[in-house]
Amino acid sequence: SVMIRPVLLVATFLSLVWLPWPVTIVFMVLTSIFIPISGIVFGLLLDIFYAPLGVSSLPYGLMWGSIATAIGFVVERFLRTRIMGA
């Protein structure tokens, strides 16, 4: 349980480089459950690595990262209140 955070961080970063973007999105959501702010960071990296200039004005990676971060905060808050309420 202690090693899950670093392993997910490394797996998400490596998925940015070697795996297709849908797999990276799944890793972003999983990582955001344990480290909520990581979704925005990896979404920004996704845009920096793969967004060609002039193709789209919308930062899709950042949007997906924001969604992953929101999911992470909701899950973390739910778990925290669930554990403290028990």
Token pair, residue 72, equals 């992470």
**Residue 75's pLDDT is what?**
87
Q: Which tokens go with 76?
A: 């973390």
Give the pLDDT confidence of 25-77 residue by residue, as tens digits.
888 888 988 888 998 998 888 888 877 766 667 888 889 899 999 999 998 88
Tokens 């959501």 sit at which residue?
Answer: 29
The CB density around residue 33, as the number of other CB atoms within 10 Å, is 19
Question: What secondary structure letter does DSSP report for 7?
Answer: H
Q: What is the mean pLDDT of residues 7-17?
A: 91
Continuous segment of H or E residues that includes residue 75 = helix 60-85
Residue 14's pLDDT is what?
93
Average pLDDT on 9-38 reads 89
Q: Tell me what pLDDT residue 54 has.
A: 66
